[in-house]
Amino acid sequence: MSIHEPGSSMNDSPSKIFLRKLRALREATRFRGAALDDPEIAAYALRLNWLLEICLLAWGCYTLRSWWMGRPHKAFNDAVFMTITLFLYGWARRQESRRRLRFAAHLTLFFSSIGLFCAALLTGQSESIVLGYFVGVPLFAAYLEGIGASLFWAGWIVLLLAGISASEVLFPLTPEFTPGLIERGVDHALQIAFILAFAFSSRRVTDRQLRAL
C-alpha cells in the first residue's frame, strides 16, 4: 500500500509531484514573502531575519526604557543602534544574495557589539549590567555561520571586554545611572526573554527546513 501526499492522486505524473514539492519547499523557506530559489540561501535569510528582528526588539525596548526613565545618553545610544539595525534590516531584504545576506549578518553582529560597548561605558564600565548581553554575539554567530565565525566573534568580544576594563583605569566615567535591585532583576528577566526568543527562532527555522525536505 503506497502513501500519497495530501492533494495528490494516483494519476499524478512524477513531474507534477516534483513541481508540487518544489512549490512547497519555496513556500516553506521564503524570506518575508520573497521566495528564494536556493533552499540554503533561503534558510540563511530566514535565520538572519530572526536575528535582525530580535535585535530590533531589544534596542527598541531599551530605547523606550531609557527615555522613560530620563536617561538621555543611554536612550540616544540605544536609538542610534536601533536605527542602524533597522537600516540593515531593510538593506538585507532588497536582494537576497548569499553575499549580501552574510555581509548584513556580520554588520549586525559588529554594530550590536559596538552598541553594547558604548552602553557599557555609559552604565558603569566593568560593573555595567549590559555585559551579560555580550554572550549573545558569538551565540548568534554560531547560529548563522557556524563554529569558525563563533570563535572569531568570541575573540572580538574578549577584546571589547578588555577595552572596557582598560577604560576604567585610563578614564573612569561616572555612570549615568546605578540600577537598583529591582531594575537588575528586570534586566536579567529581559536577558532570559531574548535568549528564549533566540531558542524559539532556532527551533522554528529547523522545523521549516525539516518540513521542506
Selection from 11, 32, 2 nearest residue 96 by Cα:
32
What is the DSSP secondary-structure string of 131-146?
GGGGGHHHHHHHHHT-
Q: Which residue has the higher pLDDT, 8 or 56?
A: 56
> Model-level pTM?
0.72
Residue 30's pLDDT is what? 46
Contacts of 10 (CB under 8 A, 6+ apart): 4
Burial class of residue 102, CB neighbours in 10 A (0-12, 13-18, 19+) = middle
3 state DSSP class of 31: strand
What's the mean pLDDT in 114-123? 92
Whether the predicted pLDDT of 25 surpasses 80: no
Residue 5's pLDDT is what? 44
Residue 19's pLDDT is what? 53
Question: Cα(first)–Cα(last) distance of the chain, in Å?
Answer: 22
Whether the predicted pLDDT of 199 surpasses 80: no
Contacts of 175 (CB under 8 A, 6+ apart): 122, 123, 124, 125, 127, 128
pLDDT digits (tens, 9 = 90+) for 130-153: 888 898 899 889 888 888 889 999
pLDDT digits (tens, 9 = 90+) for 106-117: 999 999 999 999
Burial 122-139 (b: 16+ CB within 10 A, else e): bbbbeebbbbebbebbbb
CA dihedral of 102, 103, 107, 110, whole degrees rounded to 10: 70
Sequence-ordered alpha helix ranges (H) in 123-180 = 136-144, 147-170
Domain ranges of the chain: 36-212
Task: Check if the beta carbon of residue 20 is closer than 8 Å to that of residue 7.
Answer: yes
Residue 195's pLDDT is what? 75
3 state DSSP class of 71: coil
Q: Count Cβ atoms below 10 Å from residue 20 Cβ, excluding itself.
A: 14
Selection from 182, 138, 130 nearest residue 157 by Cα:
138
